[in-house]
């Protein structure tokens, strides 16, 4: 068969409200999530042996990769697969690239095996907290432990400049820091500071921001510096360290990203995306 090729988009958390950890150790959340026009590409085909080739990043390609974990969760009885993953989204940045890749793997293998969308949707929450969102994309509320997705009308009339500082943050470490700090709330952004299409959802905040700064104080310096440069609030996506600010369109956002001096892992202006994982061609 011909390769199945899927776009796997990045996301940002426009808001992220975190609850106290359950006995399982997981934290319930309520997050307004937005897909971005910034994609990895995953090609999948049947093969004589399992293999994952990755370009664009130095990542593990064995069973520890989330794409393989997703496939094993979906179906143990399957043909051998060759996957080619072209990474454009920085890893360990709070942009959900690994979860998007897992969602793409689920959709591709379900197509190969003739499995329904309902089977894919039931499998996604067992793979990772963000995976279910990427099956839907667009703008959506994500609640519980990531399994409850409620799409809302697509947000239009704005874009974001996204900057990824030159360090990584461990999501479990940030959550442990949040627990040690007794569950602080992040600073809120509301009113006319928000784009008109987002004002009904305000105030928007990320409760993990204080904990992420406690883990990596340099993150606070990046937030302050970008805020001075851009003249507007700078927000954290997920557990970080990806940062973003709101702009009227992609051109303005791209100009703002281009102003960022010094080393960084990525900086770009990005449009909002109305779909999640999507088959190309």
Which residue from 104, 92, 127 is spatially nearest to 39, judged by alpha carbons?
104
Report the catalytic residues: 11, 130
Which residue from 249, 238, 241 is spatially nearest to 265, judged by alpha carbons?
241
The rounded distance, in Å, linking the Cα atoms of 103 and 71 is: 9
DSSP the chain: -PPEEEEEEEEEEEEEEE-PPPTTSPPPEEEEEEEEEEEEEEEEEE-SS-EEEEESS----STTSHHHHHHHHH-SS---EEEEEE--SPSSSSS-HHHHHHHHHHHHHHHHHT--HHHHHHHHHHH-TTHHHHHH-SEEEEEETTTEEEEEPPP-S-EEEEEE-SS---HHHHHHHHHHTT-PPPPPB-GGGS-GGGGGGPSB-BTTHHHHHHH-THHHHHHHHHHHHHTS--EE-TTSS-EEEEESSHHHHHHHHHT--S--SEEEEEEB-S-SSEE--
């Amino acid at each position: 068969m011909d390769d199945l090729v899927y776009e796997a988009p990045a996301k940002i958390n426009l808001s992220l409200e975190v609850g106290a950890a359950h006995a399982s150790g997981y934290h319930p959340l309520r997050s307004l999530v937005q897909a971005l026009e910034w994609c990895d590409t995953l090609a999948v085909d049947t093969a004589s042996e399992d293999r994952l080739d990755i370009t664009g990043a130095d990542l593990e390609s064995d069973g520890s990769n989330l794409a393989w974990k997703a496939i094993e969760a979906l179906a143990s009885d399957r043909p051998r697969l060759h996957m080619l993953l072209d990474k454009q989204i920085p890893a360990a940045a709070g942009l959900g690239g690994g979860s998007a890749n897992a969602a793409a793997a689920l959709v591709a293998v379900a197509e190969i095996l003739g499995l329904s969308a309902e089977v894919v949707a039931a499998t996604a929450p067992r793979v990772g907290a963000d995976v279910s969102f990427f099956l839907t994309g667009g703008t959506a509320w994500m609640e519980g432990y990531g399994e409850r997705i409620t799409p809302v009308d697509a947000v239009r009339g704005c874009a974001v400049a996204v900057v990824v500082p030159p360090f990584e943050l461990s999501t479990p470490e940030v959550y442990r820091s949040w627990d040690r700090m007794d569950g602080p709330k992040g600073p809120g952004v509301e009113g006319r500071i928000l784009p008109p299409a987002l004002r009904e959802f305000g105030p928007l905040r990320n409760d993990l921001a204080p904990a992420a700064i406690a883990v990596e104080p340099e993150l606070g310096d990046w937030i302050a510096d970008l805020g001075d440069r851009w003249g507007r609030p700078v927000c954290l996506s997920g557990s970080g360290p990806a940062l973003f600010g709101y702009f009227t369109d992609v051109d303005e956002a791209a100009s703002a990203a281009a102003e960022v001096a010094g080393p960084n892992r990525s900086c770009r202006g990005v449009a909002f995306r109305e779909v999640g994982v999507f088959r190309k061609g």
